[in-house]
Chains A and B, each alone.
Chain A
């Protein structure tokens, strides 16, 4: 088997006295859609920030795309960052640029492609993400929450990254759009060989899109496996998380 895309070993993260992660080890395999779930404050977003080199864990080893990222310089991180796409929870679109320019930022920055081509590619990514091409002429503050999310996804896809991180991709989307987004993620994975790490609370997405689910809680991994495995699990922590009425509804509806 090929080496994992992200490899985390014995991650400990502390903010002051608060222990967020207490020895987490996790591999993300190439080509899989991995979902990280857990209650609020269970350190999902922090774990993601450590994978995308925005934050260093207090202790432990993180390898991204085969490189140890402990104490990595910005210059060394750059080639890695180009191979990673990140969609932030609230979009993080740049307010001073139109949507089209936002999506084109990575292409303009990292390639020498002509402006026309960058604009066209940005439109392709926008439509891929489910937006009308003419949305490109709007400013980010003219977009609704769901549109902003899609535009952010388009920007994350701009360089056709090998590794895509999605922070709450379907929160704030209507059910139809959320389904379409799940479909899109699976399709892109199929065609481009994407590896996807997503943080989500959406049980439908978990059933539909995730190959493997990691449940975080109390600073460690409470359970990992496919949704079917976790749903059948007898571990009390896992049971409690996945046996609420919402989770069961999603299972009967989606699975």
Chain B
């Protein structure tokens, strides 16, 4: 029962509608209707040639007739059967005025600025509150360690730590190669090839290993924390926990924080090793520094303090990543879109904070002469 798409024509005054006036066949008729302007006076809208009509088609004709009657035309439908008449009555009965659609208010620049500032301030207070809450819960749980969900800590640290070994190792290895490469060019000019061990050792152990590890963990694990807690919030699982008298922070947050604080220093040690390995291989290739010489030099020039400075940063970074990740998860509200938004914020914010804190560490350590 294929029929022609909807069409509309006019003899200058009366309107004739023909064809299939259902939603998918209306494009041309809708365009034509916009440009029809009957003169004031009687206008007959002839629907006898309409083969099918649905509420979309009926609305198009109704809104056009509505517009014309505002311009002084007296519109009258002819040639419609009872069902179509009822359809028109149903649609007219909904009381919708053509041309005013309810949209959410669009605030101006100043209002947005004000709202965003207030929101940011509230946000930082809430984050502080969350940290306080988590700290308090941690202290309480440390008094009764049996209450901590240790099995979950183990699972979480496997996921955040052990499973991340390949990617962290790979990246640290490549970082070692890159540094050695960059250093080799300059050192070679001065015939000071052996200093490559100092360069790679200090750069990797003090700075790059913890940083690379933190960035990977933020992207891999912090985001997962946000998405998991966020989805649980959307599906009301967090509320369900609360009603059962289980503090979400104890079940969802503390095991993650403990797991990450344990896993990240270990990952950093692994990154140290892989970074040094990368540097060592490049030193051997480019500068003919043998593995033995490299290691000897490393042992004499890079101190245990340098190593501990790097490892010591890892738990701090872990705290930042876990806290930001979990906090953003709890901020999720309502929809899937919100989960995505807060996951992004979580990753960006935790990497940002990690780098800021790293900079502060550098200043403090240099003042202290470590």
Contact = CB atoms under 8 A, between A and B. Distances in A.
Interface stretch (B109-117, B334-342, B343-351): B334-342
A96 B338 CA distance: 8
A124 B94 contact: yes
B95 interface: yes
Contacts of A136: 101-103
B335 A82 contact: no
B104 A107 contact: no
B26 A100 contact: no
Interface in A191-210: 191-192
B69 interface: no
Contacts of A133: 95-96, 102
Interface string A124-139: 1101100001111111
A149 B192 CA distance: 75
A17 to B, nearest CB: 28
B186 interface: no
Nearest to A141: B334
Contact of B335 (A96, A107, A135, A187): A96
B63 A141 contact: no
Contacts of B83: 190-191
A119 interface: yes
A158 B55 CA distance: 9
Interface of A: 82, 95-96, 98, 100, 107, 110-114, 116-117, 119-125, 127-128, 133-141, 157-160, 187, 190-192
30 contacts: A95-B334, A96-B335, A96-B337, A100-B102, A107-B56, A111-B56, A112-B27, A113-B27, A116-B99, A116-B101, A117-B60, A120-B63, A120-B101, A121-B59, A123-B94, A124-B59, A124-B91, A127-B96, A128-B90, A128-B94, A133-B96, A134-B102, A135-B102, A137-B105, A141-B334, A141-B335, A160-B23, A160-B55, A190-B83, A191-B86
Given A140-B335, A192-B54, 12 more contacts: A111-B23, A111-B24, A119-B101, A120-B63, A121-B55, A124-B59, A124-B96, A128-B90, A136-B101, A137-B102, A141-B333, A158-B23
**Lowest 3 A-B CB distances belong to which pairs?**
A95-B335, A141-B334, A119-B101
